[in-house]
Structure 1
Amino acid sequence: MSTAAAPLYADHLATLQARTATALERVGFDHLVVPSGTAHYQVFDDRDYPYAVNPQFKHWAPLTRNPGSWLVVTPGAKPKLVYLQPRDYWHVVPQAPEGYWVEHFDIVVIRKPEEAMQHLPKNASRCAILGEPESALGKYAAFKPNNPQPVLDHLDYHRAYKTPYEVEMLREATRRGVRAHRAAERAFRAGASEFGIHLAYCQAAGQDANDLPYANIVALNEHGAVLHYTDFDRLPPKPARSFLLDAGASHGGYACDITRTHALDTAGEFQALVDAVDAAQQKMCAQVRDGFDYKQLHLDAHLALAGILKDFGIVTVSPEEALATGVSSAFFPHGIGHGLGLQVHDVAGFAASERGGTIDKPDGHPYLRLTRVLEPGFVVTIEPGLYFIDMLLEDLRAAGRGGSVDWDRVEAFRPYGGIRIEDNVVCTGGEPVNLTREAFAAG
């Protein structure tokens, strides 16, 4: 675990306790109770799906492989952790709790999941219980998650404001992800297949597919035009031209989310297009400022990318016209980014306030995942992209906008698939902190 994060943990916990006290007071509950989650089994089979910890649970402690455990938070008292450490010779049993965070909890170790009942509050009706239905305990499932919306609204809304501890955890995840990105690029340039690149990435990250925060997107050539390409061809294409890698890493329950695009010919026109997107992306990252509307950042990105398309002769209209007529969306069909933290697409991206409500997306931009005004503590991704997607280009022609595009230029770039550059950026009271560029610069 990150040694830099350890001294920041006590303040992080105090922040969570203050948020919880306010949320409970709002609905008149006495306790916050959070199950870590349970194993899920495939239908008609005895195989379980990869376990995914409840994000509300790992917000408090860096525990990600502890199904059947519970957290109890009572304002004015030390948090209680009911820690399942089963007697089991079929599977690896979680180690006894250890680390910088342990002293901040009253910890009770149990051997069977049902033993948690005797350590939870006696009256479930006085508890806000946040979790999945499968976590229910007790006779007739008396103790089951109720997920009160006012509590979720308050806690989720404030999760956008990362504590210094959380920023350090994200920084450590980013270091791991950057190390793996470097290894993946080396594998690409050595002629590896998508599957081989994926394996090189996992090896360098020290994490397998179930440890990573999301499925790796490893796309060579035309596959870069599929936004979530995860098929992993076993043989490399001939010739290999381009490589798009969207892959993250995890650390203590926190995720990084990084994308890079590479051309095999570093002196060719596709590399020049990558360089242009990269330069524009860094300017977008510089817009991550206190008080700046993320919706406007998205629209500004469309104008910048449309300008690049015009400069490269791919579109024939002005950036303003390309945005207004939907031409830019055919080449940049997703949002400029999203919140990042315990989840890759962190919660409450559209929240109007801590009491709920929604901030609408701009008209014509259905895939934007964050519409809030940026504030210090926000951590967001900035991920502009340009793609040559047959389906969207066909739709553009069908809509009567074909004259806005130079189709010969499109054909020249189609074999490369697309470009995406993604960094993880912290909003502060001054200059933004780009965790991704920071890690790449460190070597």
Structure 2
Amino acid sequence: MSATALAILYRQHLDVLEQRASVALERGGFEHLVVPSGTLHYQVFDDRDYPYAVNPHFKAWAPLTRNPGSWLVFTPGKRPTLIYLQPFDYWHVVPQAPSGYWVEHFDIRIIRTADEAAQHLPPPSRCAIIGEPQSALGEHVPNNPQAVIDYLHYHRAYKTPYELAMMRAASASGVRGHLAAERAFRAGASEFGIHLAYCQAVRQDANELPYNNIVALNEHAAVLHYTELGRLPPKDPRSFLIDAGASHAGYACDITRTHAADSAGEFQAMVQAVDAAQLGMCDQVRAGTDYKQIHIDAHLALAGILREFGVLKVSPEAALERGISSAFFPHGIGHGIGLQVHDVAGFAASDSGGSIDKPTGHPYLRLTRVLEPGMVVTIEPGIYFIDMLLEEVKKNGYGDAVDWDRVEAFKPYGGIRIEDDVVCTDAAPENLTRDAFAAA
């Protein structure tokens, strides 16, 4: 994308943010929106800091992700102010002065110590200060007024064209990493080695990635958030599941793929069946579709695959009704994504608050809203062979619904998950992940 096109998209994005912030402030009865970028947190009894994570409300306005101690101020009718900490420091690299396509839209004030920000902030009594408690500076203490938060979070689900451009770039980076990771797996690398290959291809280290990489070989794929990263490869590599994303200008992608060592084996056939079903679920990401229904339909589709492969002896409908499908697919079909991997307001009933309940028996679904144009969601169905959940099936009296010999045949592979990031539009959905793979 050309610098001119990016500048135009950003200006339009900033217009949307200013409109949203103005309404949110009016809802809350405030005059100023004040957003700290966040601060460094130090480990107990030590002078080492934890990895810094920027306030997502801050990076929504400016593509700055490594600038603790900075602040943003917006007053309706005025240019936003960026208070930018550029300290005198010989221990660390000093951030460069702000530059690029976005700076002309801000009144930028450089400070040399974090405390200097206070002189540039409006009186706190009329401010909605959005951030974590540790960001407090004197009387400027984050108050996170609910009316303001409700409005901003609800509307953050609707991505601007600028945000979609950033997410396409993040997806392109993530796909480079996934291709490198598969090559490393085929070459016999360990989980740790695959992780390093991924980071090198994405050109981001673990602290820059939007979440900890899940790199699981064989049975490890049955642990949903497996992040141990074994240092030695298994003697008999059978399967590989990688759930890994990338960041671009503060925006995230979230991609999962599963690979079989044997391209002609039964596990590979199941991977292909889940992949085909997942594409059908992605096609459901259309305006007016209840995301909860995609989740329920995913249970039916996955139970159908399990029946096709001889794991289940009952119909998909019976497996869903009795909770058996949840033993094999125990998480939600996905979540919103954007500035955060698990983006906010997934259950919001409106921009004035309230929540939409999850379907009974499905406690881990992270999004219950009706889809509308501009929303970006993940679609990540999975089939896993997890001992503790399968034991629950037996305890609940449904053991005869499962062919346990077939379960034993698939357990050495751990599980399968396929995940794409999908944009809801006015027409057919845009699959950011598949498009990035096709381009690569």
Q: Same fold (TM over 0.5)?
A: yes
Alignment match, 1:177: 174
Deviant stretches of 4+, over 2 Å: 1-7
Counterpart check, 1:261 vs 2:262: no
User: Residue 127 of structure 1 aligns to which amino acid in structure 2?
Assistant: C
Counterpart check, 1:18 vs 2:15: no
**Secondary structure of 1:128's match?**
strand
Q: Distance in 2 between matches of 1:411 and 1:49?
A: 42
Counterpart check, 1:207 vs 2:204: yes
User: Residue 13 of structure 1 aligns to which amino acid in structure 2?
Assistant: L
Q: CA offset at residue 46 of structure 1?
A: 1.0
Q: Distance in 2 between matches of 1:186 and 1:162?
A: 33
**Secondary structure of 1:22's match?**
helix
Counterpart check, 1:135 vs 2:135: yes
Alignment match, 2:233: 236
**Secondary structure of 1:5's match?**
helix
Gaps of 5+ in 2: none
**Secondary structure of 1:81's match?**
strand
Q: Distance in 2 between matches of 1:257 and 1:353?
A: 26
Alignment match, 2:109: 108
State the TM-score, normalized to the length of structure 2: 0.99
Q: Is the Cα–Cα contact under 8 Å of residues 246 and 254 in structure 2 kept in the other structure? A: yes
Q: Distance in 1 between matches of 2:94 and 2:211?
A: 25
Residues 14 and 251 of structure 1: CA distance in aligned 2, closer, same or farther (over 3 Å): same
Q: Distance in 1 between matches of 2:294 and 2:316?
A: 15
**Secondary structure of 2:97's match?**
coil
User: Residue 176 of structure 2 aligns to which amino acid in structure 1?
Assistant: R
**Secondary structure of 2:339's match?**
coil
**Secondary structure of 1:191's match?**
coil
Counterpart check, 1:423 vs 2:428: no
Q: Distance in 2 between matches of 1:361 and 1:2?
A: 43
Q: CA offset at residue 96 of structure 1?
A: 0.4
Q: CA offset at residue 2 of structure 1?
A: 7.8
- Determine which of 404, 425, 431 is the counterpart of 2:401: 404
Q: Distance in 1 between matches of 2:136 and 2:230?
A: 42
Alignment match, 2:356: 359
Alignment match, 1:59: 60
Residue deviations 1:297-352, cap 9 Å, x none? 10000000000000000000000000000010000000000000000000000000
Residues 371 and 103 of structure 1: CA distance in aligned 2, closer, same or farther (over 3 Å): same
User: Residue 38 of structure 1 aligns to which amino acid in structure 2?
Assistant: T
Q: Is the Cα–Cα contact under 8 Å of residues 332 and 385 in structure 1 kept in the other structure? A: yes
Gaps of 5+ in 1: none
Q: CA offset at residue 135 of structure 1?
A: 1.0
Alignment match, 1:32: 33
Q: Is the Cα–Cα contact under 8 Å of residues 2 and 169 in structure 1 kept in the other structure? A: no
Q: Distance in 1 between matches of 2:408 and 2:155?
A: 46
Q: Distance in 2 between matches of 1:284 and 1:355?
A: 30
Alignment match, 1:220: 217
Alignment match, 2:96: 95
User: Residue 78 of structure 1 aligns to which amino acid in structure 2?
Assistant: R
Q: Distance in 1 between matches of 2:401 and 2:337?
A: 36
Residue deviations 1:30-73, cap 9 Å, x none? 10000000000011111100000000100001000000000000
Alignment match, 2:152: 155
State the TM-score, normalized to the length of structure 1: 0.98
Residue deviations 1:339-389, cap 9 Å, x none? 000000000000000000000000000000000000000000000000000
Q: CA offset at residue 143 of structure 1?
A: 1.2
User: Residue 115 of structure 1 aligns to which amino acid in structure 2?
Assistant: E
Q: Is the Cα–Cα contact under 8 Å of residues 2 and 172 in structure 1 kept in the other structure? A: no
Q: Distance in 1 between matches of 2:27 and 2:237?
A: 58
**Secondary structure of 2:280's match?**
helix
User: Residue 116 of structure 1 aligns to which amino acid in structure 2?
Assistant: A
Q: Is the Cα–Cα contact under 8 Å of residues 5 and 169 in structure 1 kept in the other structure? A: no
Residue deviations 1:261-282, cap 9 Å, x none? 0001000000000000000000
- Determine which of 280, 286, 309 is the counterpart of 1:283: 280
- Determine which of 306, 321, 341 is the counterpart of 1:309: 306
Residue deviations 1:68-112, cap 9 Å, x none? 000000000000000000000001111100010000100000000
Identity %: 76
User: Residue 130 of structure 2 aligns to which amino acid in structure 1?
Assistant: L
Q: CA offset at residue 146 of structure 1?
A: 0.6
Q: CA offset at residue 5 of structure 1?
A: 3.5
Q: Is the Cα–Cα contact under 8 Å of residues 191 and 236 in structure 1 kept in the other structure? A: yes
Alignment match, 2:82: 81
Q: Distance in 1 between matches of 2:33 and 2:2?
A: 28
Alignment match, 1:338: 335
Q: Distance in 1 between matches of 2:84 and 2:157?
A: 28
Q: Distance in 1 between matches of 2:132 and 2:30?
A: 19
Q: CA offset at residue 26 of structure 1?
A: 1.2
Q: Is the Cα–Cα contact under 8 Å of residues 6 and 101 in structure 2 kept in the other structure? A: no
Q: Distance in 2 between matches of 1:402 and 1:166?
A: 48
**Secondary structure of 1:316's match?**
coil
Alignment match, 2:386: 389
Q: Distance in 2 between matches of 1:2 and 1:402?
A: 59
Counterpart check, 1:126 vs 2:123: no
User: Residue 88 of structure 1 aligns to which amino acid in structure 2?
Assistant: D
Residue deviations 1:153-207, cap 9 Å, x none? 0000000000000001000000000000000000000000000000000000000
Once superposed, what is the RMSD of the aligned Cα atoms?
Answer: 0.8
Alignment match, 1:294: 291
Residue deviations 1:189-227, cap 9 Å, x none? 000000000000000000000000000000000000000
Q: Distance in 1 between matches of 2:246 and 2:33?
A: 29
Residue deviations 1:383-410, cap 9 Å, x none? 0000000110011111111111000000
